Amino acid sequence: MTVSLVSYLLLAAMLFGIGLFGALTKRNAIVVLFCIELMLNAVNINLVAFAKYGVNANITGQVFSLFTITVAAAEVAVGLAILIALYRNRATVNVDEYDTMKR
Amino acid sequence: MSGEFIAFFVLAICIFAGAVFMLFMNNVVHMVFSIAFTFLSIAGIYVLLQAEFVAVVQVIVYTGAISILAVFGIMLTRHDGKEEEKKRSGHTIFALLVVVAFIGLIIWSVQGAPWGDHAADYDQMQNTKEIGKALFTQYVIPFELTSVLLLVALVGSIILAKEEDKSE
């Protein structure tokens, strides 16, 4: 019994699903941000799996996943900065209370 | 039952356990610990896929930097660290339906696709060298643009998080 490409793809799909569920249901904005990170990680697993088992397997998949990790790190930094600025103005981190544009 | 299969199975269990615990824990700090565990297990998956350099970067950036940044974000915003849930069962069920449909669609299309049976065999000792060669020849312009992006993100997040000027 060996591990095939499909196993990795299914693992990544389920991880993406968990992240999507959390991003849709959680109220704490920091947790929502981390569910988005989970989804990005699922995409990285796909990239590295295709770098090993893909039809045109080469090192490019790993290089691309490094770029994704970099952009995700920048995204978390900017996201947390926005959250802190929002918290200063609204004194809450619950995403359903950020509804100024809905009122 | 090869060793690779057992390692994949254990790592997959760890990843799902961390992710699911993150969703159902009440304390936000515990959530960060469990998601750090998930990120660490994903690094193990990368080692299994012969991507050692990506695995080390994952440990440094995700389990190290991003988890610490999350703890900082929690400490700077709310001090009780608890997440009280408002009951929104209709919303949760709808989200669950969407997610299950999405995963079902992916499973259906992944199972049906002809992936073939290739496996690139990377030299275990040369992984970092290969990545360095690709990064500094073929992908040197994206690499330099990434440094600009990181600089912009650094300056932007400092300006966003800074206390606003009271005199205005």
CB contact under 8 A, B131 and A59: yes
Q: What is the pLDDT of residues B81-138, one digit of tens each?
A: 555 556 677 888 999 999 999 999 999 998 888 877 777 777 777 888 889 999 999 9
Q: Give the minimum alpha-carbon distance from A98 to chain B in angstroms, rounded to a whole number.
A: 15
The first and second tokens of residue A14, run together, are 């389920």
Backbone φ, ψ for residue B82 (5° rounding): -105, 150
Distance, CA of A62 to chain centre: 17
Output the DSSP codes for B34-101: HHHHHHHHHHHHHHHTT-HHHHHHHIIIIIIIIHHHHHHHHHHH-SS-B-PPP--HHHHHHHHHHHHH
Pick the CATH number of A5-93 from 1.10.10.10, 1.10.1040.10, 1.20.120.1200, 1.10.287.3510: 1.10.287.3510
From chain A, pick out residues whose CB is under 8 angstroms from the CB of B147. Answer: none
CB B22 within 8 A of CB B38: yes
From chain B, pick out residues whose CB is under 8 angstroms from the CB of A68. Answer: none
d(CA B22, CA B11) in angstroms, rounded, equals 16
Closest alpha carbon within chain A to B153: A74
Same domain, B13 and B67: yes
From chain A, pick out residues whose CB is under 8 angstroms from the CB of B66. Answer: 37, 72-73, 76
Identify the band that residue B74 occupies on the pLDDT scale cut at 50, 70 and 90: confident
How many folded domains does chain B comprise?
Answer: 2
Same domain, B67 and B5: yes
Same domain, B8 and B76: yes
What's residue B44's pLDDT? Answer: 94
* A70 CB neighbour count, 10 Å cutoff: 19
Tell me what ipTM this predicted complex has: 0.90
DSSP A28: B
Residue type, B133: K
* Residue B13 belongs to some domain of the structure: yes
Identify the band that residue B80 occupies on the pLDDT scale cut at 50, 70 and 90: low
CB contact under 8 A, A71 and B77: no
Give me the residue spans of the domains in chain A.
5-93
Q: How far is CA B130 from CA A11, A14, A61, A62, in A?
A: 27, 31, 12, 10
CB contact under 8 A, A78 and B146: no
CB contact under 8 A, B54 and A44: yes
Enclosing domain of residue B24? 1-82
Please say if the pLDDT value at position B29 is more than 70. Answer: yes
Same domain, B78 and B24: yes
Same domain, B134 and B78: no
Residue of A33, A40, A48, A71 best to disrupt the B interface, most CBs of B under 10 A = A48
Q: What is the pLDDT of residues A50-94, one digit of tens each?
A: 998 888 778 899 999 999 999 999 999 999 999 888 888 888 888
From chain A, pick out residues whose CB is under 8 angstroms from the CB of B98. Answer: 20, 24
Q: Give the minimum alpha-carbon distance from A76 to chain B in angstroms, rounded to a whole number.
A: 7
From chain B, pick out residues whose CB is under 8 angstroms from the CB of A91. Answer: none
CB B76 within 8 A of CB B35: no
Q: At what angle do helices A60-90 and A29-53 cross, to 10 degrees?
A: 180
Element (H, E) at A2: none
